[in-house]
Structures are given as C-alpha cells and as structure tokens.
Amino acid sequence: MFRLPTAVLLPTFRRLALASLGLLPIAASAQTITGFSPAQAAAGATVTITGTGLANIKSAMINGQPMKVTGTPLGVTMQVIVPVAAATGRIRVTTNAGTVLSANKLGITRKSSSVSYGQSSTSVTGASATGNYSTPTMGDLDSDGRIELIQGQGDGTIMVYEQTAANSTAFGAGTLLKNADGSTLDVGNFAKPTVADLDSDGLLELLVGEETGNVLRYEQTAAGAQTFTRSNLFTNPFGTATSGAPNGGSYPRPTVADLDNNGLLDVLVGSNDGTLRRYEQTAANAATFTALGQMRDNLGAIIDAGDVDKPLLTDYDGDGYLDMLLGNRAGNIILYTQTAANSAVFKKLDFLKSNGSTISVGTYAAPSITDIDGNGLLDLFVGNANGTIYRFEQAASATQPTLAPGALTNPSPLPVVLTAFTGQAGSAGNVLRWATASETNSAHFEVERSADGQAFVKIGQLAAAGTSMASHSYQFIDDAATATSYYRLRQVDLDGTSSYSPVVTLAARLTAPAAAKLVAYPTVFTSELSVALPGAENQAATVALLTADGRPVYTHTMQLGTAPQALAELPTLAPGVYLLRVATATGANTQRVVRN
C-alpha cells in the first residue's frame, strides 16, 4: 500500500526548498527575492524575506492587507509582521524600484478552526441618531499598532474608533473621517467600507459602497493620515438607484483578496439582490478592474445569501482556503469556503453559530474579522440596522487552548518551521514531499486526503524529528488515489497540540467516469416533474431547479436511478423556462424544462 520512508537529513534540500519560494517579478526591476521563512506563520508573527534590492520599501502586503515592515530593511533581508486577520496568500513587496510577488503562498496558521463564536459584548454603538446601519471594518490607519474600528453609517459618513491600547477590547471616542480639504467624508447614504492597498504605494485605501450602487475609492493623503482623496472605482451595473427605487446593485459592500492566486487582487461586491459581483485588477497594482460577472457556487447556481448581502473574505481556520462570510438583511451570517485552492467557486457550509444557535443581530448583519485582544482567536464584529456593533469571539479548539490576551504580540517560534510542501502525480501514485528547517518537540506528521477539499481523512503517518535545528525532508506516496485529490499535513507535537499545512491539489491520474445521462418527465410540466438517470444504478443525487438567469428556486437530495421519481414538495412555480440540474458523485447534468 503506502511506502513510508524514514525522514532523512538532507542539508541541500533546505536550499532547494527556499529557492522554490523565490518571488517572481511583476515588472522588470533590480529586485530579487530568494525566499521567506517560515513558510507558515501565525497572525502577529515575524516573517523574514531574503533577496537583493530590498531597500526603500514602500509596502508589503498579503491579499491587499498591509504587512508592517519592522526595523530597517538591509537590502538583502526585510522583516514583516503577519496581519491579525490575514488569510493564506502570496506576499507582494513594493520598493522604489518596482514590485515583486511571491511564487508561493505564505501559510497562515490559526489557534482554532471553530465556526462557533460566543458573544462577548456590544462593542460600539452609533454615536448619534445618524449612526444606524453600521458596517464595520478593521484596520490600522496610522500604523501605531492599535486597531481602528472603522464604521460606515446610514447617513453616508464614516466614524473611526481606536483601541485604547494594543490588545485592548476597549475603544476611544469616535471621530469622523475627513476629505483632503478638511470637510467631512460623506458618500451620500449607507456607507459600507473596507480597507486595502490596491496600488502597493503604502497609502491605505477605503473602498466604500453607497446607496445608489457605486463603489468609491478613497486613498490616504499621506501615510498614517485620516484624511482621504476620492476617486470612483465601480459603477452600479444596473444603473442609477435610490433608496426609494433600489435595484439589484444598490447598497454594495466590497471585500478584497486574490481568489485565483494570479497576483491580481479581486474585489467581491455584495448588493441589494443578495448576489455577488466579482471584479479583478487589469494589472498588478492597478486601480482599474475588469468585471467578471456574478459569483456561482459548486452546483453552478448564482450565490444568493439573501437581500443586501455584505461579504467578507478571510481564512478563519488557517487551512489555506479562503472563506467568505456573508451577512444579510435577515441578520444572519452564512459561511462559504473555496471548493479548491485558488478557486473562484465557493461552497456553502452553514450559518455562523453562537452557543449552538444561529447568530442573529436583528437586521442587516455586516461582519468584520480581526483578533482584537491578541489571544490567537478571531473576533467577529457585526453591525446591524440600529447602529449597534456586536463582538463575538471564536471558540477555542479542543487541542489548542486559548492564549492570554496579548500573547501574540511577541510570538514565540513555531514548533515546526515548514519550508516546503509539494506534490506530484507519478506512475506509482501521488508523491508528497515536505521539508522542515527546524523542529521542537515534534511527534509525527499525519497525511490527510480529501476528494472535495472539505472533508479530510488520515491516510498515513510519519515519525517526526523531535527536536532538531537541522533541516529534514520527508516523502509519502499515496498509491490509492484515483481522482483529483487534496492533501494537507497535520503536524502533531509531543503534548498533543497540532497545526495544519496549506493544501496541495493533485489532478486525477485516471479518467473519471462520465456523469449519468439526465432525463426529465415531462419536459413541459404543470404541477409534477419526475427525474431519472437511465442505465445508472441508484445513487445519491442533488436535484436543483434554477430560473433562466441561474437563481435557485428548489433543491432536494434523493436516490436516483433508472426508474423515474417525482420531485417531492415541488413549489408552485411561475410559468416559464427553468434549468433542471442533477449532481452526483460522477458529475452533473443540466436539462431545460418548461413550466406551463
């Protein structure tokens, strides 16, 4: 079955592994990057980047989030701090000479993978009657190490509340953000901000949705400033709207990340109709974007989280997949995750919970994520219609206890410094290789495989080096995989604590069986519709009916085979054309049907 060779010391491997982490230039420049270490790091940890030309730094970023540069870059090395809400992604470094982007992702580790968030407090309420419809986002506008809660408000203005001290859960008095001329920054109505640095110039930008459906770009007038200069970014694809006459694109809320790992930032924009629109940079560091249409889920249906959805991209569990939190008008937050690494397709998981119950904040839930107290657990801040901002904190995993507040301010070295984790499909099976630069009290590595990138099972285990400051390499061969497979490592310490590596995806070695043919009876129906898979054995299937524009109106899970079966609890549908979609383990099929 599996061949599990003993770990061997390989002095040259670390040099090769680090070389594989070299950064690729976006444009010709005098810069070179030969590696970064560690390959995985927790929020608040220091990452060292090595190369040449690393001086006169303008910015360092991951998924559009600024990474604080510490000390004075020496030209051949620089150090950056992992942002508290960072998601696994490529590092982008910009100097006066140009921009370079890492070929590999920096893996972000988390202290917990729990989707349960216990309510901690009501953190900040609107300072006045105009403070309703609060939409929070988190950032450090003045780079002083204290997090600022930036609150978009119903009257179109934006308030800023700053931590009273690093790792404190208390905030000082709010102040209104200003334009460059000193006037109050005001987008009209329903300001919905997020923080990023699109052009890598070291000046933070606020991307702000507003009532009529446009997304505006405000950039700091100087580093650390709370005054901004405005320019337009996206225009409502449905045309002009007002609160009296809204349309599908009204009330947008943007969020930023690099979904497909191509070095171009994506902006996802939620809106009044509950769907999401994706825009991608036309070039690295550009403030111009290409519209890529509406986001779809793993069943091919347009994602619809309910009216006035407010998205947030993060990586709540540190598994290397981007996760998406969608707040909606009903006051709930729905969790989606990428179906595969670097995928622009997301799969719905569940509603976020608090103490076993679905989180509900009244109406118009607007989520934001950070680690406000530095204990390694994510804090969820949620705004609502009356201007209240609630704080929830992620539950600790059973094997990973809560840290004391502020414990990550000066994080200790990771028990295992992973410098590489790669895979290759071969004639004997899928070959997985990984290397460590050092290990402290490391017990073993567990290799886990998944068919869908979501549910992982253990398929093998290798003993680790224990405690060693030397580099080690490991290899594992999976000769049982017959389809596209997703792999991750679970590194277990002697005390039982564990952490996960980023996910490696390997394509199928064998051709997957063709999806069974779909037949609908009748194709023109009135009240009853039956489905069959002629010639196929009974198998689990998910049946969905979509409108012609992709909006789901019915879903049902059932066993399907050759014999036609009527769809249970089919709702009364408006006359028109629908798409009948059946998904099984072998694939999916779609057929056009008509409701009389």
CATH domain 519-595 topology: Immunoglobulin-like (2.60.40)
Of 452, 467, 460, 451, residue with least CA distance to 489: 460
Q: What is the pLDDT of residue 338?
A: 92
Cα Rg of the chain, angstroms: 25
Separation of alpha carbons 558 and 542, rounded Å: 7
What residue type is 253 in one-letter code? R
- Write out the two tokens for 444: 């073993």
| Angle subtended at Cα 264 by Cα 260 and Cα 270, rounded to the nearest 5 degrees | 75
Separation of alpha carbons 94 and 542, rounded Å: 47
The CATH number assigned to the domain with range 32-109 reads: 2.60.40.10
Q: 2-26: per-residue pLDDT in tens?
A: 333 333 223 333 333 333 333 333 4
User: Which regions in the chain score pLDDT beneath 50?
Assistant: 1-29, 126-129, 399, 408-413, 510-513
Whole-prediction pTM: 0.68
- Write out the two tokens for 36: 């970064």
Separation of alpha carbons 490 and 500, rounded Å: 5
Q: What is the pLDDT of residue 410?
A: 42
Residue keyed to tokens 């679970």: 490
Please state the domain extents for the chain: 32-109, 116-394, 417-506, 519-595
Q: Do domains 116-394 and 417-506 have the same CATH topology?
A: no
Separation of alpha carbons 251 and 6, rounded Å: 57
Task: Spell out a b/e string for 469-496, using b for 16 or more CB atoms within 10 Å of the CB, else e.
Answer: eebbbbbbbbeebeebbbbbbbbbbeee
Separation of alpha carbons 522 and 573, rounded Å: 15
Q: Report the length, in residues, of the chain.
A: 596
Looking at the DSSP assignment, which residues form a beta bridge with residue 488? Answer: 448
- Write out the two tokens for 591: 């057929």
Say how many C-beta atoms besides its own lie within 10 A of residue 594's C-beta: 12
CATH domain 116-394 topology: Tachylectin-2; Chain A (2.115.10)
Q: What is the pLDDT of residue 7?
A: 32
Say how many C-beta atoms besides its own lie within 10 A of residue 404's C-beta: 11
Q: Is the peptide bond before 66 cis (omega within 30 degrees of 0)?
A: no
Q: What is the pLDDT of residue 126?
A: 44
Cβ 406 vs Cβ 431: under 8 Å: no
What residue type is 82 in one-letter code? V
SS3 label, residue 9: strand
Looking at the DSSP assignment, which residues form a beta bridge with residue 91? Answer: 62
The CATH number assigned to the domain with range 417-506 reads: 2.60.40.10
Cβ 302 vs Cβ 548: under 8 Å: no
Cβ 506 vs Cβ 484: under 8 Å: yes
Q: What is the pLDDT of residue 259?
A: 92
Q: Rounded to the nearest 10 degrees, how much is the dihedral formed by the CA atoms of 334, 340, 344, 350? A: -10
Residue 222: in which H helix or E strand, if any?
none
Q: 321-342: per-residue pLDDT in tens?
A: 899 999 999 999 999 999 888 8
